[in-house]
Amino acid sequence: MNLISKIEELEKVSASLEPDPVQRESFIKQVKEFADRFYGNLDDSRTYVKGEADLDKVRVSGQKLSFEEIINLYEDQVASIGINGASGGHLGYIPGGGLFMSSLGDFLADITNEYAGIQFASPGAANIEEAVLVWLKEIFGFPKDSVGNLTSGGSVANLIGLIAARDHHGILGSEIKNCVVYVSQQAHHSILKALRIIGLWGVHLREVSLDENYRMDAQNLAHLIRTDEGQGLRPCLVISAAGSTDTGAVDPLREISQICNSHGLWFHVDAAYGGFFTLVDSKKAILDGIEMADSLVVDPHKGLFIPYGSGAVLVKNRSAVIKSHHYTANYMQDAIKENDFDNPADVSPELTKHFRGMRIWLPLQFHGIKPFKACLEEKLLLTQYFREKLQDMGFIIGPEPDLSVSYFYYPFPNGNENEFNQKLMELIHLDGRVFLSSTILNERFLIRIAILSFRTKISTINKALEMISEALNKLL
Ligand SMILES: Cc1ncc(COP(=O)(O)O)c(C=O)c1O
């Protein structure tokens, strides 16, 4: 067989990777039917189903499956087990979103397969990413010349922010053991993980104490910094939370920023959960000072209700970020010039990246900002409603929350209170109509409330109350 006939032979087989218009229409119809079924059942289906996925059923054997079989497997092995991330009944951990319009953004981005890492490859995609970042800079009061990146989530965004802090302060080599980093006792573990990944194991890590609302105690921070300076150490970085995971607490950002300013420390704010509440007028005061951060992390897959896979970081010191991430190579000479720093790849460990901007930009453009604001405000009021009703049922509730995370426990007088609340949690998980998660604070077992899904409505909270009441009655 000559070369041409061999190629033609292979082409006949490889052509099946490109469905024809009739097949495309049928596949899209089947996905639409699945979506209709899924959305149609969302209110009535359980938010949490304990169960294991069967690897054998999804094993890649190399043989073909029909599209119908694939959709059935997805429905049976993915969408029906575990926590339903699209459900408004997800009130555990920090819930995600799942806006339908984002899925269409992903669909478009995947069809044209934009290369979003570099301007040269897709100036339009890079521009859309930049447009989202410009909007973020505006709402968080960051200067126009700061830089940003759309990441896969808060963990990678924290990583980028902390790398910038490290490189700005030159915390490398023998400097590491001199440097002091200050974190809230409520810092998310992705912060500690990032410090480890970027080689800052060896810094002095100070856990700043908290006030009665679990916010970082600024007085204690100032005291620790002065003590460390007095001992000849080098305080470098403060990491605050604007909405901690456990309790939703917002640290006193302005006060902390002033302390950072007067001692020359980098101020990193992890607002992965709480940042977007800045869109709600009543929460502007508590988030006051967020604009003073040197680096800021927010998670559109939390407070903007985008599906999982969307974080963002903003950093004021452009050169610190570029210093760590800008690279050129001979094979990139057409695409990246020596002094051209305008590419998403200059601000991120990623070169090739998913065109994430589209799943954020499309819903923002389509819906406008008003429903996002209303939805966030609704979540705050639902938290208030939930707490009031729980209190009526005899639960002890946590302090007035800064945002939409709170907790409760049942004061069990005749026995082990932690054990009682743990059993209550187990019953709630077994029921699964609504999903809640637990934590431990000061050795007390607590059930958390985290209201952030855009699909959580007053009917969801009433369902949660009914479920909790039934579980409680089984134990009393
Ligand atoms: C305050 C905070 N920071 C960081 C993260 C990590 O973000 P991600 O899970 O998007 O990586 C979370 C996740 O819940 C969080 O609540």
27: helix, coil or strand? Answer: helix
Report the first-to-last Cα separation within the chain, whole angstroms: 81
Phi then psi for 290, rounded to 5 degrees? Answer: -60, -30
Tell whether 363 and 375 lie within a shared domain: no
Q: Kindly write down the DSSP assignment for every residue of 364-431, as one continuous string.
A: HHHH-SHHHHHHHHHHHHHHHHHHHHHHHTT-EE-S--SSSEEEEE---TTS-HHHHHHHHHHHHHHH
Report which DSSP code applies to 206: E
> Which residue, among 273, 240, 282, has the nearest Cα to 405 in the 3D structure?
273
Tell whether 375 and 247 lie within a shared domain: no
* Residue 87 in domain: no
Tell whether 411 and 267 lie within a shared domain: no
Instruction: For residue 155, give the ligand 1 atom closest to its CA.
Output: 11
Rounded to an integer, what distance in angstroms lies between the CA atom of residue 253 and that of residue 127? 31
Q: Among the three residues 324, 348, 367, which one is the final residue of a domain in this structure? A: 367
Number of folded domains that form the chain? 2
Answer yes or no: is the C-beta of 312 below 6 A from any ligand 1 atom: no
Tell which one of 83, 183, 190, 301 to mutate to probe ligand 1, the residue whose CB is within 8 A of the most ligand atoms. 190
Residue whose CA lies nearest to ligand 1 atom number 4: 154
Q: Among the three residues 367, 396, 429, which one is the final residue of a domain in this structure? A: 367
Tell whether 279 and 385 lie within a shared domain: no
- The set of residues, in sequence order, having a beta carbon less than 8 Å from that of 128 and lying 6+ positions away, is 355, 357, 358, 361
Tens digit of each residue's pLDDT, the chain (476 residues): 799 999 999 999 999 999 999 999 999 999 999 999 999 999 999 999 998 999 999 999 999 999 999 999 999 999 999 999 999 999 999 999 999 999 999 999 999 999 999 999 999 999 999 999 999 999 999 999 999 999 999 999 999 999 999 999 999 999 999 999 999 989 999 999 999 999 998 999 999 999 999 999 999 999 999 999 999 999 999 999 999 999 999 999 999 999 999 999 999 999 999 999 999 999 999 999 999 999 999 999 999 999 999 999 999 999 999 988 888 888 888 877 666 667 899 999 999 999 999 999 999 999 999 999 999 999 999 999 999 999 999 999 999 999 999 999 999 877 799 999 999 999 999 999 999 999 999 999 999 999 999 999 999 999 999 999 999 999 99
Tell whether 398 and 352 lie within a shared domain: no
Answer yes or no: is the C-beta of 251 below 6 A from any ligand 1 atom: no
Tell which one of 94, 246, 268, 453 to mutate to probe ligand 1, the residue whose CB is within 8 A of the most ligand atoms. 94
What distance lies between CA 196 and its chain's CA centroid?
20
172: helix, coil or strand? Answer: coil
What distance lies between CA 354 and its chain's CA centroid?
16
Sign of CA dihedral 336, 340, 346, 352: negative
* Residue 333 in domain: yes
Tell whether 308 and 164 lie within a shared domain: yes
Tell which one of 156, 162, 183, 188 to mutate to probe ligand 1, the residue whose CB is within 8 A of the most ligand atoms. 188
* Residue 164 in domain: yes
**Crossing angle between the packed helical segments 370-392 and 357-367, to the nearest 10 degrees:** 90
Instruction: For residue 245, give the ligand 1 atom closest to its CA.
Output: 16
* Residue 20 in domain: no
Per the CB < 8 A criterion, the answer to whether 264 and 229 are in contact is: no
- The set of residues, in sequence order, having a beta carbon less than 8 Å from that of 49 and lying 6+ positions away, is 80, 81, 82, 84, 432
Spacing, Cα 451 to ligand 1 middle (Å): 15
- A 10 A CB-CB count for 75 gives 13
Domain holding 329, by residue range, is 106-367
pLDDT of residue 228: 98
pLDDT of residue 414: 77
Rounded to an integer, what distance in angstroms lies between the CA atom of residue 114 and that of residue 118? 10
Tell whether 243 and 286 lie within a shared domain: yes
Tell whether 195 and 250 lie within a shared domain: yes
Rounded to an integer, what distance in angstroms lies between the CA atom of residue 138 and that of residue 148? 12
Q: Among the three residues 367, 400, 426, which one is the final residue of a domain in this structure? A: 367
Per the CB < 8 A criterion, the answer to whether 150 and 318 are in contact is: no
Spacing, Cα 268 to ligand 1 middle (Å): 14
Rounded to an integer, what distance in angstroms lies between the CA atom of residue 151 and that of residue 133? 11
CATH number for the domain spanning 264: value is 3.40.640.10
Instruction: For residue 244, give the ligand 1 atom closest to its CA.
Output: 1
Tell whether 359 and 392 lie within a shared domain: no
* Residue 62 in domain: no
pLDDT of residue 143: 98
Question: What tokens does 421 get?
Answer: 């609340």
pLDDT of residue 323: 87
Tell whether 376 and 354 lie within a shared domain: no
Measured torsion, CA atoms of residues 40, 46, 50, 51, in degrees rounded to the nearest 10: -30
Question: What tokens does 465 get?
Answer: 């109350």
Sign of CA dihedral 168, 169, 170, 173: negative
Tell whether 261 and 376 lie within a shared domain: no
Phi then psi for 408, rounded to 5 degrees? Answer: -150, 160
Residue whose CA lies nearest to ligand 1 atom number 14: 94
Rounded to an integer, what distance in angstroms lies between the CA atom of residue 472 and that of residue 476? 6
CA-based R_g, the chain, Å: 25
Per the CB < 8 A criterion, the answer to whether 299 and 452 are in contact is: no
pLDDT of residue 97: 93
Answer yes or no: is the C-beta of 188 below 6 A from any ligand 1 atom: yes
263: helix, coil or strand? Answer: helix
* Residue 208 in domain: yes
Per the CB < 8 A criterion, the answer to whether 351 and 251 are in contact is: no
pLDDT of residue 339: 66
Tell whether 357 and 374 lie within a shared domain: no
Query: How many H-runs (helices) and E-runs (strands) does the chain carry?
Result: 16, 13
* Residue 113 in domain: yes
Spacing, Cα 195 to ligand 1 middle (Å): 15
Instruction: For residue 94, give the ligand 1 atom closest to its CA.
Output: 14
Residue whose CA lies nearest to ligand 1 atom number 7: 154
Answer yes or no: is the C-beta of 154 below 6 A from any ligand 1 atom: yes
CATH number for the domain spanning 432: value is 3.90.1150.10
* Residue 23 in domain: no
pTM assigned to the model: 0.96
